[in-house]
Chains A and B, each alone.
Chain A
């Protein structure tokens, strides 16, 4: 077998070839070593001094952030809702922080948000220039106690929180005209989900609380595809967050193809469920319970629902700094966020990105967030049991 020489450019057209220049000689060993060593030295110098020059030690306790850069660690890929939120807030925020720091959003996707958040917990700068973006994807695994989670929100300080809301709606053709059609059905309603261990968990707990006659199919790619599947009649019941309510639900609800059943509601300052300002006419989950069962909800299921509502809706999107961040820097960031949230021009601009929920950074916020983020062991136990018994999922 004849081997084609590796030195010959493949596929050359014969006759078209000029006389080949000879193979270049190998350079002397000394040349190589000299060249490589000089460049390595250049690199080392750049790495050491360049790094110092670009990142001088910060001074965030002197009452302003001038000359600093606020780095937002976004633990998810760019392009998603959380990413859009963080970039928008960051861009607007830096112009309100005294000293006008620069803004550097850093996406560190991996492990559905867990990797980046782990990294933040391990090695974030404690001077208040590095902020973590928190979202439901990182909160839920923490609540479930997944072994991959190496962070705890107890070790972080909240800077600002921003809520969202959502509604549960069903396909009218599946025989759902109102709340009463959720129970005592001849055939259960099919719920379309992404994964029982994600944001869906709040809805699953709501169904369990209401004793709704629902079976679930997981594996959809996102909430958008679930909404399409409902329109096709593949599934019967779904939920959408406030920002997707307009494009996904409002139209079909108007056409009578879908029936809006209830909203998740919002937690008020006292930790009670109240109506969602974006859906003032839609009953909340506890109101739906009362309507179906004739009594106020109570007990571990309701406690779990309220906890999850706070974590995954009312205080869903958030910015955090490490526990060791200096109080002056933290106060400065919080007051800047509060100012931003109160600004009329910002509110107008931000209406769609924030989904109609205010930026919350008032002095009472840290205490409320602390309450919302303290998850009792009985709530954790109930959720694990629900997942194991009903969905055959054993959280590792």
Chain B
């Protein structure tokens, strides 16, 4: 075993192999930087190049790219609040808050180091998992997978930062949204209103980029000046490394959760990364800083989202069951070389297995190193006025999100959810539970039904794995209860931080007409879901109705609270903020985006960009004419060259179909 491992390492000294690894790594980093492309884009661009290569070279190329996309997708999440991928939205919570305090370099240093460690631990895990994978995967039957999704949804409560009712409501609404499309059990269409487009469900990239990315742009597009605070590494490299090292347990825990989430088919990178974050929050003693720039909120998830890719390779190679699109493409590539995935791959192609492990580890280090070296120049981006960045970001994010399904409908969904995300953000609803709910909706329902129909009665509740999950779910609640009772007995005891409502500096419109309206939107949405679901078959109806009813109860309570606050405010003759300048600006920004998309639909993406970018730069960002012209010309040239360089399609408009 050791012999093959060393032989594989020695083979990597071959310059052509090393070169492939390097090219793969760079391509992966670049694709990770562009919001919406990620691993799928990286493998898609490299795959055609591999036809005709030796299998070892092709593998080095693809693994190099896969290993690092989650290293660089952090950059736009931290600097701009626009996650490069759905799983980078996790890092955004704390990373972006840190960057807003002028500590972008600190956040990125932590993130890159964690990505590197996650990649290395993932590679080690991949090696160790080879003999363990089969029992591990086989021990996770439908009941355990069901409990895992329940645990994920329960994270919504943990991540709701002081307002459990809002968090749970958002999580439930995410679940409803996730159920749009084909039902996993009966293959009937739900909430699609006969539309084939909705039949596939909403695109995760569009939802994540809308709720987090576009919402962020809308709330900051009014900034016509850059951030002028000095960006420093805060004491140099060493301090960054030292701070990171002090969180080593989080790094390891994150990586292990990532591998585990990757190994289990059906969990996925986004859910795995959220689980790592939830774990960090749940086990932390002092939770006050989470979401406001807590290093633990960066370290764990970053480590996890890289190790997920390694974990994902385990079922791909050993069972031929890919966990995501990138690994599915990798699987396809292996087949073209006549390499049959399956348990026998360990005996037949052990050298290639170790080549994968080494490539993954080396690429992780290289990727982190490249990113690390570019921290300083990248951090300067925050000095550029956000309004000027916003123009390009809108164009890039819409283009990125278009790549997944090639449908303009995804982009409309993205803008609508962007406006909704802005409303959530500004009225103090946590958005993380919303996204978790969206991601887990179908797995939750799928494994519930499989458990229900494959096991008699409630016997599955006694399975050891299920009991462990039940303990994880119930014990913290009991513990909190005990603490609460003790605290009541000894009133002056400092019982942690439960009583301290975290000051939410982002939610300017909390307790205003806006949050009242938001609560109203929730109630209406749940009621509509309940009504619409009456038309489904009994099997397809069960889960949506349960979720809808629970949502109606929670959002009803919320509406009650909001109404009471509003009445109190009126009695005290306090004027609640109604139409604030920020709200006006956000609305205007969404109108700009809508206009951009309408232009795209009419005349195609290229013309839309050429109209939108200069207009937005001049009118909204008030950039100098010279800057606006140069900015637009650069984008124009890039868009002309892009489709032949990268696997990118520009959306075509109505005009192109008639000429």
Contact = CB atoms under 8 A, between A and B. Distances in A.
Interface of A: 1, 3-4, 6-7, 9-13, 16-18, 20-21, 23-27, 31-32, 35-36, 39-40, 42-44, 46-48, 50-51, 77-81, 83-84, 87-88, 91, 106-112, 114-115, 118, 123, 148, 190, 195-198, 217-222, 224-225, 227-229, 231-232, 234-235, 243-244, 246-248, 250-251, 349, 351-353, 392-393
B321 A27 contact: no
A51 B656 contact: yes
A44 B656 CA distance: 10
B487 interface: no
Contacts of B340: 246-247, 352
Nearest to A225: B265
Contacts of B657: 123
Contacts of B315: 224
B225 A79 contact: no
B182 A228 contact: no
B384 to A, nearest CB: 12
A217 B222 CA distance: 54
Contact of B196 (A32, A110, A218, A353): A110
Contacts of B200: 109-112
Contacts of A31: 618, 625
Interface string B202-227: 00000000000000000000111111
A108 B652 CA distance: 13
23 contacts: A9-B100, A11-B102, A12-B228, A23-B622, A31-B618, A35-B615, A36-B614, A42-B610, A43-B609, A46-B636, A46-B640, A47-B607, A79-B40, A112-B200, A190-B454, A218-B187, A219-B185, A221-B266, A224-B319, A228-B137, A231-B138, A251-B344, A352-B335
Nearest to B317: A247
Nearest to A392: B537
Given A109-B405, A115-B196, A39 B610 contact: yes
Interface of B: 40, 44, 47-48, 51, 97, 100-102, 137-138, 141-142, 182, 184-187, 196-197, 199-200, 222-230, 265-266, 315, 319-322, 325-326, 328-329, 331-332, 335-344, 386, 405-407, 446, 449-450, 453-454, 505, 508, 537, 574, 577, 580-582, 585, 603-604, 606-607, 609-611, 613-615, 618-619, 622-625, 628-629, 632, 636, 640, 649, 655-657, 659
Given A26-B622, A195-B187, A221-B446, A51 B659 contact: yes
B76 to A, nearest CB: 18
B628 A35 contact: yes
Given A80-B328, A352-B336, A10 B229 contact: no
B48 A222 contact: no
B141 A229 contact: yes
Given A12-B102, A16-B230, A248-B319, A353 B224 contact: no
Nearest to B343: A251
A246 B342 contact: yes
B229 A17 contact: yes
A221 B622 contact: no
Contacts of B582: 3, 6
A13 B51 contact: no
Nearest to A85: B332
A111 B582 CA distance: 39
A87 B199 contact: no
A11 B100 contact: yes
A17 B325 contact: no
A35 B621 CA distance: 15
Given A77-B325, A352-B340, A43 B622 contact: no
B266 A35 contact: no
Contacts of B629: 35
Contacts of B603: 43-44, 47
Given A26-B622, A47-B607, A110 B453 contact: no
B329 to A, nearest CB: 5
Given A16-B102, A79-B328, A218-B185, A46 B606 contact: yes
B229 A12 contact: yes
3 smallest CB-CB distances across A and B, nearest first, come from: A247-B342, A84-B332, A224-B321
B585 A6 contact: yes
Contacts of B141: 229, 232, 234
B574 to A, nearest CB: 8
Contacts of A91: 48, 51
Contact of A84 (B184, B335, B343): B335
A150 B582 CA distance: 47
- Most chain B CB within 10 A, of A11, A224, A231, A392, is at A11
A222 B321 CA distance: 9
A39 B332 contact: no
B229 to A, nearest CB: 5
Contacts of A27: 618-619, 622, 625
B186 A393 contact: yes
B200 to A, nearest CB: 6
Given A11-B102, A224-B265, A248-B342, A114 B228 contact: no
B196 A114 contact: yes
Contacts of A26: 619, 622
Contacts of A1: 574, 577
Nearest to A92: B51
Contacts of B97: 11
A47 B453 contact: no
Contacts of B185: 218-219
Contact of A13 (B101, B196, B577, B640): B101
A21 B225 contact: yes
Nearest to B51: A91
Contacts of B454: 190, 217, 229, 234-235
A114 B182 CA distance: 13
A20 B228 contact: yes
A87 B187 contact: no
B15 to A, nearest CB: 27
Given A32-B614, A228-B319, 6 more contacts: A4-B505, A24-B224, A36-B615, A44-B607, A88-B336, A247-B342
B143 to A, nearest CB: 9
A336 B512 CA distance: 69
Contact of B332 (A25, A46, A83, A250): A83
Contacts of A21: 225
Given A110-B407, A228-B321, A353-B336, A218 B222 contact: no
A234 B449 CA distance: 13
Contacts of A251: 342-344
